[in-house]
Amino acid sequence: MCGRFTLRSPVESIASLFDGLAMPEWKPRFNIAPTQPVACVRHRNGSTAVDLLRWGLVPSWAKDLGIGARMINARGETVASKPAFRNAFRTRRCLVLADGFYEWKKIGKQKYPFYITRPADRPFCMAGLWETWGPANQSVETCTIITTEANARLQPLHERMPVILGPDDYDFWLDTQFADETRYQELLRPVPENDLVMREVSQFVNKVANDSPACIEPEATLFD
Task: Give the residue numbers annotated as catalytic, written as ranges.
Answer: 2, 103
Q: Which neighbouring-strand residues pair with 99?
A: none
Query: Residue 222 is which amino acid?
Result: L
Give the E-state strand segments of the chain in sequence order: 5-7, 29-32, 37-44, 47-55, 73-75, 93-98, 100-107, 110-117, 124-133, 140-149, 160-162, 164-165, 197-200
Single out the residue of 168, 126, 122 nearest to residue 40, CA to CA: 126
Cα angle 217-106-78, degrees, rounded to a multiple of 5: 100
Query: Residue 92 is which amino acid?
Result: R
**3-class SS of residue 200:** strand
